[in-house]
Structure formats: C-alpha cells, structure tokens
C-alpha cells in the first residue's frame, strides 16, 4: 500500500522559510516522479512542483519559481520542499503525491497533507 | 482561473446518474491522459480514474471516465449519498510544462 506522510508545516511569518518533508513507503520511490500540490482554505487544487525519479529534472509553478526548491533523497525515500520568501498567499495545505513512472502523466496518489500558515 | 474547466456544481438524486465534464485544450487533455480525484471535506484527494478511463484499485465500477478530443467526462451511476464530495480532473500541460487541475465540481446527492 502506498503511504505518504508529510511533515514540517506550521505557522511562519511573511518572508520566512519552511522545509516540508514527505516520507514514502509501499512502492519503489526511486522509480516515480513526485509532486507537491497545495490547496488554500476553501479553494481548489493547485500544482506547486514536481521532480523526476532521479532528481535531475524539476518543474515549478510560476507562482513559486525562485522561492521554492523541490528535492528528494532516494536512499531515504523522502521528498522535500524548501520554501523561502513565504507570502500570505502561500497559506495552504500542502500535499505530497506520487506520480507516474512516465513524465507526462498526472495520476496522483496523495498523502494526508500538512498545513502551512503564513501570517504575522 | 483554472486551465481545465469544470462546472462548479452538479446535483442528482440517489440512484440516478451524474456526469461531470472537464474541458481543456490540445496541450493538455487533447494530448495527455486525464485523471479524476474525489475529495471529502477535510481529507486528502483520492485517485478515482487514471489514463482517461482506468479505475484505480478498489474504485467501484459505478465510476467511469472517458475522453473525447479536448474534453473528458466522469460518470457516476447509482448515486449514493456517500458520493457527495468535490471532484477534480487533472492532466499535464505540455505548453505550460505544468500539472493542471480543474477548479473542482461539488456533487450534491439530493
């Protein structure tokens, strides 16, 4: 069974930083693209970033480009999202999700999410 | 404004059938597989359909997906009150190099 467990969320002031982690189990982590998707309170799903199975390719939403960095440690089956320069509009539940083995494929299995609140 | 367009809400009675549409373009649905997700309030989304029409493990056959051109559809038959949830479609956009989702459709089972 695929299991994804996010951690690292919390309350942070505008301009601050947070590092989210996602511990994966139940599948061959090093074979899959991995995603971060966020959902602001009462809003829909918004893609944030993704990383290839070996970590060599990354993509970012324009809204986070230059501020967020996705990375992974395949030896530890863990996905990360380093978030710098946080803004109020980054407030959301952040979900880690398992993607496909193929690149142009969005069929996601989701973690339970971690809440990030950006407020003074 | 979402790249994929879904109706904000649909409703039907128990036992009936409902269809949720998802409209995109040639750079996403028109050339890439579509997936569908179900989300109950306060919980994470759950994969229902992948590769346009394949049901994920454990999903009942009351749920089915299809795609034609730049649009996709989720059909739910034999509606149950427990199907009340938000439903999202998703795909990859080759022009944007981004995953894209619909704005979500709230299903009400009256």
Name the residue of chain A whose CA is nearest to B28's CA. A104
Q: What is the pLDDT of residue A96?
A: 98
Please state, in angstroms and rounded to a whole number, the distance separating the CA atoms of residues B110 and B108: 6
Cβ-nearest to A106 among B35, B44, B104: B35
pLDDT (mean) for A59-82: 98
Query: Could you report the per-residue pLDDT of B27-81, keeping only the tens digit for each?
Result: 999 999 999 999 999 999 999 999 999 999 999 999 999 999 999 999 999 999 9
Task: Please classify residue B101 by burial: count the beta carbons closer than 10 Å to its beta carbon, then call 0-12 exposed, 13-18 middle and 19+ buried.
Answer: buried
Alpha helices (H) along B1-110: none
Contact of B110 with chain A, judged by CB distance below 8 Å, is answered with: no
The mean of the pLDDT values for chain B is 97
Q: How confident is the model at residue B1 (pLDDT cuts 50, 70, 90)?
A: confident
Kindly tell me if the per-residue pLDDT of A111 is higher than 90.
yes
Q: What is the pLDDT of residue B68?
A: 96
């Amino acid at each position: 069974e695929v299991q994804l467990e996010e951690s690292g969320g919390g309350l942070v002031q505008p301009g601050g930083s947070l590092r989210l982690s996602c511990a994966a189990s139940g599948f061959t982590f090093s074979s899959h693209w991995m995603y971060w998707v966020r959902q602001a309170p009462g809003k829909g799903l918004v893609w944030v970033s993704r990383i290839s199975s070996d970590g060599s390719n990354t993509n970012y939403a324009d809204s986070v480009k230059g501020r967020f960095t996705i990375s992974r440690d395949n030896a530890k089956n863990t996905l990360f999202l380093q978030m710098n320069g946080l803004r109020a509009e980054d407030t959301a539940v952040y979900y880690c999700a398992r993607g496909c083995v193929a690149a142009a494929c969005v069929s996601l299995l989701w973690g339970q999410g971690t809440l990030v609140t950006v407020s003074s | 404004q979402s790249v994929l367009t879904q109706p904000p809400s649909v409703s039907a009675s128990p036992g009936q059938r409902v269809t949720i549409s998802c409209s995109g373009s040639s750079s996403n649905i028109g050339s890439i597989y579509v997936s569908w997700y179900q989300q109950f309030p306060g919980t994470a989304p759950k994969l229902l359909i992948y590769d346009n029409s394949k049901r994920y493990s454990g999903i009942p056959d009351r749920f089915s997906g299809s795609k034609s051109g730049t649009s996709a559809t989720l059909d739910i038959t034999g509606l149950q009150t427990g199907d009340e949830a938000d439903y999202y479609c998703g795909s990859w956009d080759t022009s944007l190099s981004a995953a894209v989702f619909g704005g979500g459709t709230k299903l009400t089972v009256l």
